[in-house]
Chain A
Amino acid sequence: MAAVQDGGSELEGEKEPKPELMNDGSTAPAAAPSSRPEDQQTLLAVLQFLKRNKLIESVDALRREAGLADEPEEAPGSEAAGGAGGAAAGSGELGDAGALLSRVSGGSQSAAAPAPAKGGDDQPDVSVVLSAYSQQGDPSLYQVYYSGLKKFIESVLDCHRAELSQLFYPLFVHMYLELVYNNHESEAKSFFEKFNGDQECYYQDDLRVLSGLTKKEHMKGNETLLDFRTSRFVLRISRDSYQLLKRHLQERQNNQIWNIIQEHLYIDIFDGMPRSKSQIDSMSGSLAGEAKREDNKTKVYYGLLKEPEIEVPLDDEDEEAENEEGKPKKKKPKKDSMGSKSKKQDPNAPQQNRIPLPELKDSDKLDKIMYMKEATKRIRLGPESLPSICFYTFLNAYQGLTAVDFTDDSSLLAGGFADSTVRVWSVTPKKLRKVKSAADLGMIDKESDDVLERIMDEKTASECKILYGHSGPVYGVSFSPDRNYLLSSSEDGTIRLWSLQTFTCLVAYKGHNYPVWDTQFSPYGYYFVSGGHDRVARLWATDHYQPLRMFAGHLADITCTRFHPNSNYVATGSADRTIRLWDVLNGHCVRVLTGHKGPIHTLAFSPNGKYLASGSTDGRVLLWDIGHGLMIGELKGHTDTIYALRFSRDGEILASGSMDNTVRLWDAIRAFDDVETDDFTAATGHVHLPDNSQELLLGTYLSKSTPVIHLHFTRRNLLLSAGAYNSQ
């Protein structure tokens, strides 16, 4: 198998051409000799699956296509044979095929197989997956093997020890699972007891799940285990350390461990200095190890799109004001505000028409003009001039506030609640009004100048509108940039599009069959992204009831989604403790960012599109350089889950809001400046993180017993935060 692969030879061109495709071994050229029987086995598994789901026609079609004459009953037999015979390579591939199947069933968007209930009756697939564990070793020797390796690693030079220590966790888990799978319950327990203390503390959550699992039957349907099995745990080890390990294992004839390494781990070997413990720790922690270097090699066009040129008509009053100030000043700010940046094309920006974007309407242009006007009045923030903070407290929210969003111009506020409602408030004195009914609309003079005003029904004016429609807690809300629509995602598996003109539901997008944790509109409108419990992020267009793209690859729930400012990329954070960046154009995963030690609950792009900030349950904010795919900062300070992150309008300040009832402000400019991204770091991906959280922290601001769940900078850089007052 090619699981172990030299760093120099870039054989594996894994680019996940299709979202449905996992890191399966089909791309491994070294497995060529055995590829034919493998394919056959995969086919058999598929056939078996189809048959079980009573898709007779599909079975026939597939059999005809594959030219298979065998009885399908053979499939289990061959499985068993594969398992018993210790055909490691074969069963490994079979496992991945199973993974594929389980993916398909989870994704439910495959043309071949309509979705069965996930995790329900997919027993054959799981058994296929797990059969990889069926090779028998002496169960009593497992502890010996493991402690032998432990002794070896502890005896090697310090520089290698840290790297090789990475092996402990994946080996431990796989050996434990093997024991459990082969019904060696007591051995498994004692193995766990003996060695679980050695594991890194940030794996505690997974270990807790693991420790509860002592029976083979329990392994079926346990998603965490499936993840572990279907994805190779990725380790980055220097060549020297790897050679050391290899020599040791060969000398000791320790085939058990060697097999596991070959089958279940992916060792990414690099040349050069071994990494230090802190370097390793900062990058590890995700469910499936670190990101492979290849994952982050693709070029990302992180630059901003050119703004359409809009003549800013200077209002009379403005002109007067400026005249009063004095004439020499008049010209200067105008030129500045028009923006030299909009004239030049950013070299890192994607082509303007890389993805089709909706055309600007007149109202959009007006809004842009408003934006520019506001922008000229913006306060420049910095360590010396911190923003004022306004707190929007939700009172009497006994039903549970789960999501909040502000419009870009800070005029509307939406709250998603656990009682399935979405409530929209007007933050300004302007009340919310519905459009008149169709009959009344017919009576309006359509030629009149104030027709837009006339279509509104004054009688419906109120501060707050409640939108009913979901049948489960609303976990995500997002306003469209033009403030005409609102999206909400809910536990009921749907995303709903609401009109803010009529305050009714327009569309319910069905596709996620499980809770949808988050959704967000593209900064240019029209597109939106959603992600949920089914581990697939979907890209939608408002006028399509089916998704345009599906981004699959996360190993656990997608907890948050965010559009890149140029709308060409989508970032997703997941409970598998990784962040992925997806290309909207082709659906590829272009970045995998690891380093968080807990589920990621919030993401924020810097306004220039160059950086990404992420916050997780471990209370840390990590900063990422998107261009290089590198972690460039770690902000420690919060003591609880971070639910909100936001950069100020000019990107000088990063605000983070947390369950610990605080808002913290960080010096973003300094955080990005302090990092020297030389070529070596960029090439190897080894980061040295300065431990300067305390210097970057500009302020900690307590709310009034209110968890902060949303942050928003107004166009003039006033910081708005929102949360529900918690009386307990």
Chain B
Amino acid sequence: MTEAREERRFAEVPRESIKLMAESAGVELGDDVAAMLAEDVCYRLREATQNSSQFMRHAKRRKLTVEDFNRALRWSNTETICGYGAQDALPFRPLKEGELFFVEDREVNLVELALATNIPKGCAETMVRVHVSYLDGKGNLEPQGTVPSAVQSLSDDLLKYYQQITRAILGEDPHLMKVALLDLQSNSKIAALLPYFVYVISGVKSVSHDLDQLNRLLHMVKSLVQNPYLYLGSYVRSLVSSVMYCILEPLAASINPLNDHWTLRDYAALLLSHIFWTHGDLVSGLYHQILLSLQKVLSDPVRPLCSHYGAVVGLHALGWKAVERVLYPHLPAYWANLQAVLDDYSVSNAQVKADGHKVYGAILVAVERLLKMKDVSLTGAAEGSAAALQNSAGGVIGFRESSPGLSPPPEPLSEPPLGIASHLQAGGAGCQWEEWTPVSLPAMYCELYSFFGDSLAVRFSTGPALGGAPSATPIQSSDSRKEPGNGTANLESTRKMPQLTANMNISPRQDGSPRTEPAPPSLAATASGRSLARSSSSSSSVTRSRSSSSRPGRSASQSRDIFPKTRFTPPQAGPPAFSFLIGGRQMGRRCQGRRFQTSFTPTPLLTSLPPRAYAHKLPVIGRVSKPVRRWTCSHYSLYLPL
């Protein structure tokens, strides 16, 4: 009886085990000897365990370790046990067949272990961190019992690396920057620094006046995104938000037209698509959030033209489906406002008009590709040949290479834009997805043709024939810039450019060209001051604007009128139906003729739009007293990397 109770008190080594062990050593043991031995072994084990506990207590631990036990053994002149010193828990497994219990002992591949790239836990440097836990014994500055935040603090080396890299990237030396960016692209050990880099990048908002810095930060984003060892995780949102900032915001740098913020926006748009296509799966709903914010900007007439430009290139970069989905339905409404800008030949409007041409060109490029891709996808679907798609995809624009499949991830449209990057949130907050029904290609073409006229037709028809997009885009963009200025001029640069003849005819003067026309300084300020009230206002303004247009740049008082929509006269050339329609629209708008205009809208969208679809609040940009010299540079923006 006592025997049984004793056994319950302690773990016992059964005599069978002793016998087995003896046999394995080649000794035959009698029962009584085994029993004696078993008892003695148990006692010695207990003794050693009791002795080992003092090592645990003095090491101020709760857990008895193998090391403690070995120390006890060592001090009692017994051989220590080797092979159990690992920090990890040792799994103790039963083997049913033999009623055997054993410690799992896996084989370790030493070569693998030695070459393993993952850094083992516990190699970080021991350090001391101090924090005030309780002030005057009262206030708990931080919640009790939580894990200290600095547990995974950076090692000194990483910190140094971080400093060097940021210094190099944001510094003056372009060579250094290149090296740093390259390393950022390929370094496999900087995962711990990711949040810090992301934080630096989020600093775009504070350097919006410095195009150079913005560019550098965007390059940093690119490097991080391209680094195959980094898992961006939820930082994607933060990065996207920073990039979107560069695309959409009226940057402080764009006040000065000399600054080529267009290139920055193009690059950022490219980057956005790159992030989206490579890391878009990390954040659910990202695509729709981006679309929503782009749409919001596009549909917000208060935004400056450069923001609109950003939205258009952003949509363009996201693929033709995005264009079809957002830009195309908005085009009619937007077109009216854009046209108004383009038609103002006043000197004061020159800068704004130049911006307008940029937007026009961007839209044209986007729409053209939309048509082409739609065509290709339709024919591709019909033929079932992926090769055709591939071909045309490669042919259209370099950007497409980075976007393997153009169809966006299949996400429900109804998904609400969830709060992430503030930018995305802001974009998604206001507008809901409009009803969107696919439009057939011919219908779309007709609709677009109504806006762009022959310029579109040419592109579309000649698109497949053209060698590649790069050659097509420059032509197109230069067209878009020049055609409103003087039709004869742009004819020389392009083969066939009869498009928008209406414009040619309406604009008898050359003042549309920014090269010749310096923008009056006073213009923009007043322009932004009065917005929609003016646009829908009395006819007196109409007359005034007319007069101002007839005598461009003559007086400051006249230039006050921002959007002289009266300028547009019914076109005399081109496809009469379309040109008429456009003119009618413009006219109708000015003379409260909206109903007239709506009759031409192919989509029901326009009816739903508020009468003042375009608030003519232009930004304070364009306040320059000298002619725009960067003109030649800026037109490159459209076909830069897109």
Contact = CB atoms under 8 A, between A and B. Distances in A.
Given A212-B46, A599-B57, A727-B151, A704 B145 contact: yes
A427 B58 contact: no
A212 B44 CA distance: 10
Given A193-B5, A709-B60, A727-B151, A392 B137 contact: no
Interface in A98-144: 117, 119-120
Contacts of B130: 390-393, 427
A704 B130 CA distance: 12
A689 interface: no
A44 interface: no
Contacts of A704: 142, 144-148
Given A400-B61, A704-B146, A393 B132 contact: no
A397 B129 CA distance: 12
14 contacts: A217-B40, A390-B131, A395-B128, A396-B126, A402-B58, A427-B130, A533-B54, A533-B75, A601-B57, A617-B57, A661-B145, A699-B137, A701-B134, A704-B146
How many interface residues does chain A have, given as a range?
35 or more
Given A423-B126, A575-B54, A643 B137 contact: no
Contacts of B129: 392-393, 395
A400 B134 contact: no
Nearest to A205: B50
B154 to A, nearest CB: 12
Contact of A395 (B50, B146, B153): B153
A218 B50 CA distance: 14
Query: Which has the most chain B C-beta neighbours within 10 Å: A399, A418, A517, A641?
Result: A418
Given A212-B43, A393-B128, A701 B133 contact: yes
Query: Which 9 pairs across A and B sit closest by C-beta, in order of nearness?
Result: A386-B137, A398-B122, A702-B144, A396-B124, A389-B134, A189-B2, A212-B46, A391-B133, A389-B133
B607 to A, nearest CB: 63
A395 B148 contact: yes
A212 B42 CA distance: 9
Contacts of A659: 60, 62
A607 interface: no
A396 B125 contact: yes
B106 interface: no
Nearest to B148: A704
Nearest to A118: B75
Contacts of B5: 193
B58 A475 contact: yes
B47 interface: yes
B160 interface: no
A9 interface: no
Interface of A: 117, 119-120, 186, 189-190, 193, 209, 211-215, 217-218, 222, 385-402, 413, 415, 417-418, 423, 425, 427, 464, 472-473, 475, 491, 514-515, 517, 533, 557, 559, 575, 599, 601, 617, 641, 643, 659, 661, 665, 698-699, 701-707, 709, 721-722, 725, 727-728
Contacts of B40: 215, 217-218
Contacts of B107: none
Contacts of B128: 392-395, 413, 415, 425, 427, 722
Contacts of A120: 77
B126 A418 contact: no
Contact of A394 (B42, B126, B138, B146): B126
B2 A193 contact: yes
B10 interface: yes
Given A601-B57, A706-B148, 19 more contacts: A189-B6, A212-B46, A212-B47, A215-B39, A215-B43, A386-B137, A386-B138, A391-B130, A393-B148, A394-B128, A397-B126, A400-B61, A415-B128, A475-B59, A659-B60, A701-B144, A709-B60, A721-B133, A725-B147
A709 B76 CA distance: 29
A423 B125 CA distance: 12
B435 interface: no
A211 B9 contact: yes
Contacts of B150: 395
Contact of A402 (B54, B59, B145, B148): B59
Query: Which has the most chain A C-beta neighbours within 10 Å: B2, B40, B67, B151?
Result: B2
A386 B39 CA distance: 57
A728 B122 CA distance: 13
B131 A119 contact: no
Query: Which has the most chain B C-beta neighbours within 10 Å: A393, A402, A515, A707?
Result: A393
Nearest to B49: A212
A5 B190 CA distance: 78
Nearest to B67: A418
Contacts of B495: none
Interface string B1-38: 01001100110000000000000000000000000000
B63 interface: yes
Contacts of B77: 117, 120
Contacts of B124: 395-396
A213 B76 CA distance: 18
A705 B147 contact: yes
